[in-house]
Structure 1
Amino acid sequence: MPGTVRPVPTPLRIASNPIVDRREELARAIVAIQFERWPALYARYGEGGRERCVEDVGFHLLYLAEAVASDSPALFREYVAWVKILFAGIGIPDEELGESLEILRDVVAGRVEHITAARVRACVGEGLTALPGLPREVPPFVRSDAPLGALARSYLDALLAGDRRRAAVLVMEAAAAGARVPDLYLHVFQPALREIGRLWQTRVITVAHEHFATAATQAIMGQLYPAIFAAERRGLTMVATCVSGEQHEIGIRMVADFFEMAGWDSHYLGANTPADSVARLVRERGAHVLAVSATITAHVGRVAALIAAVRAEPGEPPHVLVGGYPFNLVPDLWRTVGADAFAPSAEEAVVIAERLTGPAVPDRAAGVA
């Protein structure tokens, strides 16, 4: 359907994934059954639509592969919840989604070994069981009764209007009037960007609007940097990064800024930095902490691979914190990928990191640029 002691990573997580490896073959087999079972699909979408269906099913398979690899049916259930809202916005009924998932389950389970097949049935089964009760819409993230709610609403309106200058003025005036930078991050930027994401998911806005809002917010965050970097340095260093392929980088940038506000020296790498480059920089900077973000379930395996690469570097490894949407869903997923802890928010990331590292070690930090 077109729509658009430290733990060690488990061997299953780092090894080749049988579903990912055969994704194209599996997707085409699934779509072939869909078009055979529902002849109206071809009439509705044609041959071009068939290829878009293959692409969409390929995404289903990526998310299923990660849920299976971590033996976490909850990950796939939450993906189904996201897809249900997405499909509702383009008029695809729940029944069609459910039947499509059943076909996916049967095709994949029939083409992988029995342990993987059992996990496939469990993951898809949990999604199918939950499907009827899952919401068809998400409540708005910007609310007038929330802290700085009126400012967040005005900021969001400015972004949706494409008025970056107005958005910046709103934030800088609030800062000049005494609003704390952490509060602007948590109560203005964060809910506004989540609302932008909700509006894209429900097809109210396009991905271009989403990209504009993200870029504008990053630029406005930069205007707050004089206040962010004013904290006294404490001889602690951290590296913050997304995994390779992750495009949602603003969350981990906020994490890095919270560390800066707590007196840490942060090295923010953003998105698409290769794992070996991250590992090398962590060693060169003598980082006490590595913070890794993944907002997409399909990228969880890359978190484990990155952590393994960092652990393989010579010398004392850093403490590794992970965060992002998949880790919010499954309480122990951080253990599966080999991290030292999970932080559900930027504020808590700093608290947890300082608990792991203990007091600053000036000698170690002395050679850090």
Structure 2
Amino acid sequence: MPGTVRPIPGPLRIASNPIVDRREELARAVVAIQFERWPALYARYGEAGRERCVEDVGFHLLYLAEAVASDSPALFREYVAWVKILFAGIGIPDEELGESLEILRDVVVARVDPATAARTHACVEEGLSALPGLPREAPPFVRPDAPLGALARSYMDALLAGDRRRAAALVTEATAAGATVPDLYLHVFQPALREIGRLWQTRAITVAHEHFATAATQAIMGQLYPAIFAAERRGLSMVATCVGGEQHEIGIRMVADFFEMAGWDSHYLGANTPASSIVHALRERNAQILAVSATITAHVGRVAALVAAVRAEPWERPPQVLVGGYPFNLVPDLWRTVGADAFAPGAQEAVAIAERLIGPAVPDRAAGVA
């Protein structure tokens, strides 16, 4: 359906991905069948709408391609869950989504090699089987019974009203009243931004609201830096980055700040940093840890490519690679697939796992440690 899926760049794969390589061809074949099967689509959207449908199906194919490449049907199931909520917000019935997925499956299976076809069938069937039981709305992330829940609500309301001064004042007042930086990160910033993302998904707010909230929160985080950088240095160094194309950098920035509060020297590179520059930063900073974030499943391949680039370098003591983000929380062993040394489900856990990775004895496996 036109204009329903947020655009994302294509993933980078170490090897050729047949679904990505033929994405436009596959998308046009899917849309041709949709418009033939449902003539009302053309009457509703016209030729311009057809092109937007091709673009949207192309995004579906990117997510499918990552699930297929990772052999992780759960990744595609969770994408279907996300799309179901998105479609519910704009009035598209579940039946239409289900039929679209069936067309997608049949078109791809008929046009790719047998191994890719088998994985495609498994991934789409996982989504189709789960579809009837998936929720049509996501539960709220800001709850009054949560720690600092009232503050998180007030903070979010200030952001949605476009009042950055009020949001900053709330944080200042909370700090003066004894709230710690970890408390503010985990119980105010994180749930507020997740809730704003949920509101965008349901079309209750615009992407402009979401972008303002993120930018304002990043600025407000800056006012906490005197406390963040107050910890005694321990001679430990890490580099934090997210893969190219990520629109959600704030999570990995929070991770870097947690390392700072634990006495590490953190070097936050943000997104769209070339692999060669990341390698240079690792060498220049003598970093023991590289923390990499991906927040959407379509970027798993980019993580794999970055890890491979780091592994290909000659190191006297190679940095340990720690990954995190939404897709890695969905599939517990996905970090192994991309070649990482460990994954962390959150910022606090990332520090503890990193210190185990570089310690004299690494456990066989603890919270995602190889």
Give the TM-score normalised by the residue count of structure 1: 0.94
Deviation at 1:312, TM superposition (A): 1.5
Partner of 1:303: 303
**What secondary structure is seen at the aligned counterpart in 1 of 2:111?**
coil
**What secondary structure is seen at the aligned counterpart in 2 of 1:110?**
helix
Partner of 2:156: 156
Partner of 1:197: 197
The answer on whether the counterparts of 1:244 and 1:275 sit within 8 Å (CA) in structure 2 is no
The answer on whether the counterparts of 1:258 and 1:347 sit within 8 Å (CA) in structure 2 is yes
Counterpart Cα distance in 2 of 1:294 and 1:115:
26
Counterpart Cα distance in 1 of 2:182 and 2:228:
9
Q: Deviations over 1:89-148 (max 9, x none)?
A: 111110000000000000001111000000000000000000000000011100111000
Q: Deviations over 1:225-258 (max 9, x none)?
A: 0000000000000000000111210000000000
Counterpart Cα distance in 2 of 1:166 and 1:229:
25
Partner of 1:124: 124
Partner of 2:108: 108
Aligned length: 352
Counterpart Cα distance in 2 of 1:87 and 1:56:
12
Of 313-322 and 146-155, more deviation after overlay is shown by 313-322
1:182-221 correspondence runs (5 A): 182-221=182-221
**What secondary structure is seen at the aligned counterpart in 2 of 1:171?**
helix
Q: Deviations over 1:308-367 (max 9, x none)?
A: 1111222122011000000010010000000000100000000000011127xxxxxxxx
Share of identical aligned residues, percent? Answer: 89
Between the two structures, name the one with larger relative contact order (CA 8 Å, sep ≥ 6).
Answer: 1
Q: Deviations over 1:265-285 (max 9, x none)?
A: 000011111122112211221
Deviation at 1:293, TM superposition (A): 0.2
Partner of 2:235: 235
Deviation at 1:13, TM superposition (A): 5.7
Partner of 1:323: 324
The answer on whether the counterparts of 1:304 and 1:337 sit within 8 Å (CA) in structure 2 is yes
Partner of 2:51: 51
**What secondary structure is seen at the aligned counterpart in 1 of 2:323?**
strand
The answer on whether the counterparts of 1:13 and 1:70 sit within 8 Å (CA) in structure 2 is no
Counterpart Cα distance in 1 of 2:278 and 2:24:
30
**What secondary structure is seen at the aligned counterpart in 1 of 2:52?**
helix
Counterpart Cα distance in 2 of 1:274 and 1:247:
16
Partner of 2:41: 41
The answer on whether the counterparts of 1:290 and 1:319 sit within 8 Å (CA) in structure 2 is yes
The answer on whether the counterparts of 1:67 and 1:123 sit within 8 Å (CA) in structure 2 is yes
Q: What code does the residue aligned with 1:335 have?
A: R
Counterpart Cα distance in 2 of 1:80 and 1:279:
35
The answer on whether the counterparts of 1:236 and 1:265 sit within 8 Å (CA) in structure 2 is yes
Q: What code does the residue aligned with 1:334 have?
A: W
Q: What code does the residue aligned with 1:59 have?
A: F
The answer on whether the counterparts of 1:247 and 1:272 sit within 8 Å (CA) in structure 2 is no
Q: Deviations over 1:160-216 (max 9, x none)?
A: 100000000000111111111000000000000000000000000000000000000
**What secondary structure is seen at the aligned counterpart in 2 of 1:131?**
helix
Q: What code does the residue aligned with 2:344 have?
A: A
Counterpart Cα distance in 2 of 1:279 and 1:106:
42
Counterpart Cα distance in 1 of 2:72 and 2:83:
18
Q: What code does the residue aligned with 1:343 have?
A: A
Give the TM-score normalised by the residue count of structure 2: 0.94
Partner of 2:136: 136
1:1-369 correspondence runs (5 A): 1-2=1-2, 3-4=4-5, 14-315=14-315, 316-358=317-359
Deviation at 1:85, TM superposition (A): 0.3
Counterpart Cα distance in 2 of 1:280 and 1:314:
12
The answer on whether the counterparts of 1:242 and 1:270 sit within 8 Å (CA) in structure 2 is yes
**What secondary structure is seen at the aligned counterpart in 2 of 1:291?**
strand
The answer on whether the counterparts of 1:193 and 1:213 sit within 8 Å (CA) in structure 2 is yes
Q: Which runs of structure 1 show a deviation greater than 6 angstroms over 4 or more consecutive aligned residues?
A: none
Gaps of 5+ in 2: 6-11, 361-370
Counterpart Cα distance in 2 of 1:340 and 1:172:
38
Counterpart Cα distance in 2 of 1:128 and 1:283:
46
Counterpart Cα distance in 2 of 1:105 and 1:279:
39
**What secondary structure is seen at the aligned counterpart in 2 of 1:195?**
helix
The answer on whether the counterparts of 1:144 and 1:150 sit within 8 Å (CA) in structure 2 is yes
